[in-house]
A and B are shown apart, each in its own frame.
Chain A
Amino acid sequence: MPAERRIAVLLLASTLAALGLAGVYIAGGQPQAEGALLGVALAGIGFALILWARGLSSEGAVVAERGPLGGTVEDEEAVEERVEEVTEEPGRRSVLRLFWAAGGALALSAVFPIRSLGPAPGNALLRTAWRPGSRLMDTDGRLVRVDTLQVGGTLTAFPQGAEKAGDSSVILIRLEEGQLQPRPGRESWSPRGYVAYSKICPHVGCPVGLYQADTHELLCPCHQSTFDVLDGARPNFGPATRSLPQLPLAVDPQGFLIAQDDFDEPVGPGFWNRD
């Protein structure tokens, strides 16, 4: 087919596709048809242009000189001279220095509004919303009772009244009583086999949500750190460097699970002043 003919076919196809695109839109739209028709409409013009470009010029490759990039020495000297006329004169140099000082001070003062962009870190990273006596509430808003979970069961819990606190989620697991080897000082933290660990990975903060009941391991789905639930959620493998903080649990007289206190260490990823 001669080039003109092919160009004509392409442009005709493009025109039809564009009109079809308008039709699809008027008829209510359909993503696949929209994308395909727009693609045809654009590709028709594109290929037609490239075919057309081939016939536009018969001259083939053309060679041209580059010419010099830099200016002449006279140009450079002339510019330097004009600048030095202003800057190098003794009386002006001290004024220039004052200009620099004023400009620097202004730039410095312009840095301060950055402070308004966020609160001071303060205690925010060191504390969560857990308080002595906080009841555990699951993600459906139900309070957790001592009989809520069977052995091997897990759920995600928040402190009652602070369900939005992003740093306070815990994963609650019920083990056989006596299965857990509590760390020194944590013997009373896991009543009736209930143990609660911060759900925020100490690596980069993903929710440590996958519990493998057969191996008693918690797995972070983002970067595959694994934690040994029976051994204080010590990291077994992966980039995590610290155990998941453990929430001290108790059972209140009404049979609800409560926190004895906040975590005894910061939750989530590490930072400079963590320890």
Chain B
Amino acid sequence: MGKRLFRWVDERLGTSHFARKAFDKIFPDHWSFMVGEIAMYCLVILIVTGVYLTFFFVPASGEVIYHGSYKALQGARMSAAYASSLDLSFEVRAGLVMRQMHHWAALVFLAAIVVHLCRVFFTGAFRRPREVNWIIGVTLLVMSMMNGFFGYSLLDDLLSGTGVRVGYSIALSIPVAGEWLAFLFFGGEFPNTEFITRFFVLHVLLLPALIVGLLGAHLAILWRQKHTQFKGRGRTEDNIEGSRLWPSYAAKSVGLFFIVTAVIAALGGLAQINPVWLYGPYDPAQASAATAGSQPDWYVGWLDGALRVMPGWEIRAFGHTIANPFFPGAVLPGLTFGVLYLWPFLERRFTKDRDPHNLLDRPRDAPVRTALGAATLSFYTILFIAGGNDVLSSVFRVAPESITNLFRVLIFVVPVLVFLVTRSACRSLARDHVHPFGGTVGSRVRRTPAGGYEAVDDDDPPPAEATRADLVAEAYRRPAPPAP
């Protein structure tokens, strides 16, 4: 039956020619190549759970009175959007698990994208000929962050409404065009009745379509250019070593999909996320006890931290104002993503390295790049932690002013230290050929007949370039397959 169907399709589309070649496509076995796949599989989960949620969510800000089964809010006035979020959590069977899986998948999706980006950055995988895929990848990150924010905002609870207001205020702070931009994007002065419907269209239609389309391009380019690979015996710029797509890689990758989904499902069922019923409906004049000490989703934490550590400065001149939130809220992300987009070209400019690269650097091979990357990560990590300055202040019983001032210092000092330490660590690792997971460092000793110990001059040291990874690769190596 399967065979007949395959023939039927092949006679009409010529599938067998493509499949035969595709089955032999080689994928590297290194674990770090799995992270991008995790992101892709999270996207699949997001789409499936997201479609289910759209059947129940009402993207409208019209006021309703709640009569559902959650007693604490019965009789409360709220938007239809918030009421439907409560209903799909409490009234719809399997609805809460779907909603929590959707939220968890979004958090893991962005985490996987960021780790994937780090992998590509620290191994130099963005270099020629892969600049275009780097740019597409950064765009996917930006769009995914935006879509996470829109989705979070749709529920119209007290926390999300505050987040939208912050976004509106940042838009408003943009010089010259800010007022118009904010009014056109949010549909007028905030709070208003327009933005939920608008965000809904962006969240379920426009951005997902762009993300899926760009991911398709990302994968097609990967397919065409083939994966990079780490250096190792027998690996050159002109070959690629790994498993064939069929059967081992396909089975492993589909297995990974099921495991990622299993983890998201377990989180969705067992780990509560964004319990909007505790926050109450959005009310622009209220910040309830439930929202004190609350933090945004992790991937916007650095922006919240930047808003918090920014001193109370702004520019007022010639009858105009460049308001304070513009700098942490618009300039910082602009610089962040601007530098990310340009990185392959900036690096090429400084290293003068214009050659195509299919062999990856180990992070130590490029000490300055690695140190810059580590310093940058420390910068955003500090901003992220600074986003919890109120929590830190109450946990450690220190005045929020002191905590904030501390972060204002750390934000400049720590990245410099991280840069220096990382650069020197990379240089000494590269000089001594130390592999963190292989080889032994130190000297050999021999027990003498008298019961003492004496150092042995190692006459046969392992070859300096060989690491355990190489030896393992060697052990597994088989002759190249005959060309199909």
Indicate with 1 or 0, residue by residue over B252-282, a CB within 8 angstroms of chain A CB atoms.
1011111101110111111000000000000
**Is B194 located at the chain interface by the 8 A CB criterion?**
yes
Structural contact, B179 and A49, CB atoms closer than 8 A? no
Q: Which residues of B contact A62 (CB under 8 A)?
A: 26, 241-244, 478, 480-481
Which residue on chain A has the smallest CB distance to residue B165? A205
Structural contact, B255 and A274, CB atoms closer than 8 A? no
Q: Give the contacting residue for B270; candidates A36, A117, A206; CB below 8 A.
A: A36
Indicate with 1 or 0, residue by residue over B444-484, a CB within 8 angstroms of chain A CB atoms.
00000000000000000000000000000100111011000
Q: Which of A52, A121, A268 has the most CB of B within 10 A?
A: A121
Min CB gap B288→A, angstroms:
9
Min CB gap A34→B, angstroms:
5
Structural contact, B321 and A274, CB atoms closer than 8 A? yes
Alpha-carbon separation in the docked complex, A82 to B263 (Å):
54
Alpha-carbon separation in the docked complex, A265 to B224 (Å):
60
Which residue on chain B has the smallest CB distance to residue A35? B269
Which residue on chain B has the smallest CB distance to residue A27? B93
Alpha-carbon separation in the docked complex, A121 to B225 (Å):
50
Contact count band on A: 35 or more
**Is A69 located at the chain interface by the 8 A CB criterion?**
yes
Min CB gap A9→B, angstroms:
16
Structural contact, A204 and B169, CB atoms closer than 8 A? yes
Structural contact, B251 and A56, CB atoms closer than 8 A? yes
Q: Give the contacting residue for A205; candidates B180, B190, B255; CB below 8 A.
A: B190
Given A34-B269, A42-B261, check contact A207 B287 (CB 8 Å). yes
Alpha-carbon separation in the docked complex, A118 to B480 (Å):
63
**Is B223 located at the chain interface by the 8 A CB criterion?**
no
Which residue on chain A has the smallest CB distance to residue B387? A223
Q: Which residues of A contact B179 (CB under 8 A)?
A: 121, 125, 271-273
Structural contact, A119 and B287, CB atoms closer than 8 A? no
Q: Give the contacting residue for A206; candidates B166, B182, B268; CB below 8 A.
A: B166
Structural contact, A275 and B189, CB atoms closer than 8 A? no
Indicate with 1 or 0, residue by residue over A237-257, a CB within 8 angstroms of chain B CB atoms.
111110000000000000000
Structural contact, A240 and B312, CB atoms closer than 8 A? yes
Structural contact, A56 and B247, CB atoms closer than 8 A? yes
**Is A154 located at the chain interface by the 8 A CB criterion?**
no
Q: Give the contacting residue for B184; candidates A43, A115, A221, A238; CB below 8 A.
A: A115
Q: Which residues of A contact B166 (CB under 8 A)?
A: 204-206, 222
**Is B382 located at the chain interface by the 8 A CB criterion?**
no
**Is B173 located at the chain interface by the 8 A CB criterion?**
yes
**Is B8 located at the chain interface by the 8 A CB criterion?**
no
Indicate with 1 or 0, residue by residue over B303-323, a CB within 8 angstroms of chain A CB atoms.
010011011111010011111
**Is A107 located at the chain interface by the 8 A CB criterion?**
no
Structural contact, A120 and B308, CB atoms closer than 8 A? no
Min CB gap A141→B, angstroms:
12
Given A35-B270, A62-B480, A241-B312, check contact A269 B400 (CB 8 Å). no
Q: Which residues of B contact A48 (CB under 8 A)?
A: 255
Structural contact, B324 and A166, CB atoms closer than 8 A? no
Given A63-B241, A64-B240, A204-B169, check contact A50 B252 (CB 8 Å). yes
Q: Which residues of B contact A210 (CB under 8 A)?
A: 287, 292
Structural contact, A35 and B255, CB atoms closer than 8 A? no
Q: For the complex, count residues of B whose C-beta is within 8 A of A.
A: 106
Structural contact, B262 and A239, CB atoms closer than 8 A? no
Alpha-carbon separation in the docked complex, A118 to B197 (Å):
13
Interface residues of B in 79-122 (CB under 8 A from A): 93-94, 96-97, 100-101
Q: Which residues of B contact A232 (CB under 8 A)?
A: none
Q: Which residues of A contact B156 (CB under 8 A)?
A: none
Q: Which residues of A contact B172 (CB under 8 A)?
A: 125, 269-271
Alpha-carbon separation in the docked complex, A63 to B232 (Å):
12
Alpha-carbon separation in the docked complex, A245 to B466 (Å):
70
Given A39-B265, A57-B243, A206-B162, check contact A269 B312 (CB 8 Å). no
Q: Which residues of A contact B263 (CB under 8 A)?
A: 39, 43
Structural contact, B269 and A47, CB atoms closer than 8 A? no
Q: Which of A32, A65, A118, A210 has the most CB of B within 10 A?
A: A118
**Is A178 located at the chain interface by the 8 A CB criterion?**
no
Alpha-carbon separation in the docked complex, A218 to B70 (Å):
33
Structural contact, B252 and A118, CB atoms closer than 8 A? no
Q: Which residues of B contact A156 (CB under 8 A)?
A: 285-286
Interface residues of A in 52-71 (CB under 8 A from B): 52-54, 56-57, 59-66, 69
**Is A149 located at the chain interface by the 8 A CB criterion?**
no
Q: Give the contacting residue for A69; candidates B225, B241, B270, B308; CB below 8 A.
A: B225
Given A50-B251, A66-B240, check contact A35 B97 (CB 8 Å). yes
Alpha-carbon separation in the docked complex, A118 to B308 (Å):
30
Q: Which of B26, B191, B226, B248 has the most CB of A within 10 A?
A: B248
Alpha-carbon separation in the docked complex, A59 to B255 (Å):
20
Structural contact, B265 and A35, CB atoms closer than 8 A? yes
Min CB gap A239→B, angstroms:
5
Q: Which of A62, A166, A268, A273 has the most CB of B within 10 A?
A: A62
**Is A230 located at the chain interface by the 8 A CB criterion?**
no
Given A32-B270, A53-B251, check contact A205 B169 (CB 8 Å). yes
Min CB gap A55→B, angstroms:
9
**Is B187 located at the chain interface by the 8 A CB criterion?**
yes
Structural contact, A40 and B262, CB atoms closer than 8 A? yes
Min CB gap A199→B, angstroms:
6
Q: Give the contacting residue for A59; candidates B269, B308, B356, B478; CB below 8 A.
A: B478
Q: Which residues of A contact B224 (CB under 8 A)?
A: 69
Indicate with 1 or 0, residue by residue over A15-51, a CB within 8 angstroms of chain B CB atoms.
0000000000100110111111011111101111110
Q: Which residues of B contact A235 (CB under 8 A)?
A: 312
Which B positions have Cβ atoms within 8 angstroms of A?
A: 24, 26, 29, 93-94, 96-97, 100-101, 129, 162, 165-166, 168-170, 172-180, 182-191, 194, 224-226, 234-235, 237-244, 247-249, 251-252, 254-259, 261-263, 265-270, 284-287, 291-292, 304, 307-308, 310-314, 316, 319-325, 328-329, 356, 358, 389-390, 400-401, 404, 473, 476-478, 480-481
Which A positions have Cβ atoms within 8 angstroms of B?
A: 25, 28-29, 31-36, 38-43, 45-50, 52-54, 56-57, 59-66, 69, 114-115, 117-121, 124-125, 139, 156, 158, 166-167, 169, 199-200, 203-207, 209-210, 221-225, 235, 237-241, 268-275
List of 5 A-B pairs having minimum Cβ-Cβ separation, nearest first: A35-B269, A270-B323, A46-B258, A49-B255, A39-B266
